[in-house]
Amino acid sequence: MGVPVLLAHPFRPFFLLAGIYAIVVVLGWIAFLFGGWPIPLGWSPLQWHSHEMLYGFVAAAIAGFVLTAMTNWTGAHPLQGLGLLSLLLLWLAGRLAMWFAGWLPGWLVAVVDLAFLPVLAIYMAHVLISHQNRRNLVLVAVLTLLFIGNLYMQIGFATGKTGLLQTGQLLGLDLVTVLIVVIAGRIIPAFSSNWLRSNGHNPEAVKTFRWLEFASLGSVVLLLLVDWLPLPIQAASAAALLAGAANGVRLAGWAGWKTAREPLLWILHLAYLWVVVALLLRGASAFTDTIAPTVWQHALGVGGIGTLILGVMTRVAVGHTGRPLQLQRFAVFAYIAITGAAVLRLLAAAGLLDYRLGVSLSALSWVVAFSLFVLLYAPVLAAPRPDGRPG
């Protein structure tokens, strides 16, 4: 008996689960926040929401991407079948533990929730080292640090120390930003130049510079280190401004406007722009009272992270199943919806829109975006490759 299609390659089940969980966690959060739905969270609702977005939804999307990309980097056979199912169940067990944390022993919730990231990191390290691909071990280090961020949040919950909860949340946001700068920095200029070449345009319009690559990544790593050290808030703000400026120049060099006719590309450029905006907003918020200190988190979380995950999943879902590299019909409305979700959430956070209305409309737009992904791409992810090849 062969391997079921959904377990033939890591991106198939992890992207589908990420899309479904993006819907579930936001609907549950809004029902709890505004509808009084008695979810047995056991946590502070705000930190529970941020935890599940970072260490639940985002972690699933990261797993789907890195496990898939790793097969291209190394030539290794993809994780599939029982091994992949075991990893999926480990992620799912963590989500169930967090949803019913109020009914379960705290130590059990922590152990189950914390297990996924180190298992993923150990598996990745084994494959990369055995195939002598040490360059990408940096991603194993990021996954390990993400585990530490999650550990901060679990200890914060167990001890009631909100400072630890906030540290774990901030560390998670910083580390995902590092991942975006690393991964997007590889795929966006490469995809863009390839598209320009295949459509009769000059691929050299996409510019990358070694010094700028170093500055872009180095500045976000610096921000991560500053956040981890007991330094004044102005130090982190200065680092954020530096990171925003460096990555803004980097993004401009990729000439995203020249790919405006291709949705699978402009959505990636837009996602990176949201990251730049988030960094600049964060940096500016310490020097003015007109920018709420949490606005940048929503620009990054909904705009940068949410948009990039949606853009990557819609591209990989067709590209890695042997289908034409084009957006599914009506899927552009998912891109429009995720952009609307980010804008509305920022307006609500900035006090420019009624909070209840703004958050509700933003959540609705988010749910529409990922519902469209699930409806349009579940048949693709669950179907065999049309070319008959495995994977």
pLDDT 10s digits, 291-347: 888 899 999 999 999 999 999 999 999 998 989 889 999 999 999 999 999 999 999
Residue 284's pLDDT is: 92
pLDDT at 145: 97
What are 375's two structure tokens? 């409806």
- Return the CA Rg of the chain: 20
Which residue ranges form the domains of the chain, and what is each CATH number?
Answer: 5-382 (1.20.210.10)
Q: Using a CB cutoff of 8 Å and minimum separation of 24, what contacts does 125-134 make?
A: 127/70, 127/74, 127/76, 128/70, 128/73, 128/74, 130/76, 131/73, 131/74, 131/75, 131/76, 133/73, 133/74
pTM: 0.95
**pLDDT of the residue at 75:** 87
- Residue 229 has a pLDDT of 87
Q: What is the pLDDT of residue 46?
A: 82
- The per-residue pLDDT for 293 is 80
Whether pLDDT at 1 is above 70: no
Alpha helices in 229-326 (DSSP H): 233-253, 263-285, 295-298, 307-319
Which pLDDT score, from 0 to 100, does residue 23 have? 97
Average pLDDT of the chain, as a whole number: 93
Work out the average pLDDT over 221-237.
Answer: 91
> Between 1 and 35, whose confidence is greater?
35
Count helices and strands in the chain by DSSP H and E runs: 15, 0
